[in-house]
Amino acid sequence: MDLAPRHRLPFQLPGPWPACAQGMLREGAPWLHTGDTGEGLLALPGLNVTSTWNGLTWTTVIGKTILPQTPWEALEVAVEGQLHPWVGAASFELACDEADLPRKSLPPGHLGQHWTAVHEALHVKDGKAELWSWTADPPDPIAWRTRLGPASTPGLASLNLTPLWTEEQHRAAVERIQDCILGGRFYVANLCVPFHGRLTGNPVTFALSAFQRARPPFGALLDLSGPRLLSLSMERLLARTGDRIWSQPIKGSAPLTGDPERDQVAAEALLADPKERAEHTMILDLVRNDLGRVAQSGSVRVIRPMVVEPFPTVQHLVSTVEAMARPGLGLADLLRAVLPGGSVTGAPKHAVCGHLAQAEAGPRGFYCGAVGWISPTGDLDLALPIRTAQILGDDLTYWAGGGITRRSDPAREWTELHLKTRAITGK
C-alpha cells in the first residue's frame, strides 16, 4: 500500500495482531487486509462521502454538504486537493448507472458508495507496525495504544448459508442465457445468486476468522454507516500508479483440495479446458477494450495471460492487463470506463446487464462493485468485491456467481456456486 503518509512512526503493538484491533473494529474503524503478507491498514474514521438512491437519482453528500455532480464526479471533487487517502466501496448498481448500463430497480435509501477520509492509520506488514499520518502533526503512540488495548479473547461465530433459489431455478437461468448466446445477443454472461444466512456471534470475530482461513489478497472490513462489508476478494479490478493502469481479471475455477498431485491435475485440466479458456478470453478482450478507452494509443497489453493461481479453497485462471493512461485522465472518467468489471458482467456489457437485470434474484449491492483505496494523487488500488458479504445486524447476504457460455454445464455451475461459499463458511 503505497499511500505516501507525511509521518511514519515505528509502533509496538500492545498485543497480537490483529486480535488487539477488535475494539476499534467494533467501533467502525475501516480495515483493509492483505492475507498473503499480513499487510493491513486500520484507519481512524474521518469525513464520509456517500451516494444514496432517492428513487429518481443519486444524492451525493460529503459530510453534510450535498454535491451536485454525478457520484463519480463528486468523488473526484472530494479527492482532489486533499492530502489524505480515502478508503471505501461502491456498489454494482451505481457503477452501472455511471456507465449508462441497465440494472435492477432499487428502493429509495439504497447506498451506492461510501468513502472515508483517512488522516491517521496503523499500518502492519509482516508483523511490523507503523503509525501513519497525513496531517501536519505526527500520530500519538499513547493514544493509539489506548485505542487498541490488549488482545481480547475472541468469542465464537458461525454461519449457515442458503441460496435464495433452487438448483432447478439456476438450471433454467443458465439455459436462458445459453439461448441468448445461441441467438447472438451476447457471448458470455456472469450469473450471480444471493445466499442468505444468520450470523451467530460478533461480525468482527467472524471477520477475523474468515481472514485467517481465506487469506484474501484484497480483504476488507468496512462499516458503511449501518451495514458492514466483509470482502474476501482475490481479484484486482483496477489499479493506478502514476500513468500506469492495470487490471487482473479472473475467469475459470477449479477446486483446491490440499493434495499436491490432485491439485496439479486439476490446474492442468483448468488450463486446458476449452470452456474455461473461451470464457476467460472473452473477458480478457473486454478488459482490454475498457482500458483502451482511457489509455494512450497502442499501450494496452496483456503481460501475464492465463496463469493458474491457487487460493485456500479454489484455484483460478488470472491474467494481467496493463496500459498507460492518456494525459489528463481523471478519476471519474477512469472509473466510468472500467466499472462495473467485465469479469462480473459479461460481453458485451450493455446486452448482458440488460438480461441480468431481469434474470437475477435481486440487486447485487456492493458485491461486484469496487472496494479499496484512492489517493489524492490519483493513484488507487480497487478490488472487485467477490467472495463478499453484506452484514446488517445478524442478517448476512453473500453472493456467488460464475460465467455462463454455450458450453456451460448447469449442474457444474451449481456446484461451483457452493464451492465459492467455502471462502466464508469454511465448510
Q: Which residues are catalytic?
A: 235, 251
DSSP structure string for 124-183: EETTEEEEEE-SSSPP-HHHHHHHH-SPPPP---B--EEESS-HHHHHHHHHHHHHHHHT
Count of beta carbons in the 10 Å neighbourhood of residue 128: 12
Reduce the DSSP state of residue 38 to 3 states and report it: coil
Question: Per the structure block, which three cell numbers stand in for 3?
Answer: 499511500
How would you class 326 by CB atoms within 10 Å of its CB: exposed for 0-12, middle for 13-18, buried for 19 or more?
middle
Are the CB atoms for 91 and 97 separated by under 8 Å? no
Reduce the DSSP state of residue 313 to 3 states and report it: coil
CA distance 180 to 340: 21
Cα–Cα distances in Å, from 89 out to 31, 69, 254, 265, 382?
12, 18, 28, 37, 9
Helices 349-359 and 167-182 pack at an angle, to 10 degrees, of 150
Amino acid symbol at 96: C
Nearest to 190 by CA among 315, 282, 273, 110: 282
Amino acid symbol at 203: P
Reduce the DSSP state of residue 259 to 3 states and report it: coil
Are the CB atoms for 283 and 403 separated by under 8 Å? yes
Cis status of the peptide bond prior to 340, with omega within 30 of 0: yes
CA distance 220 to 222: 6
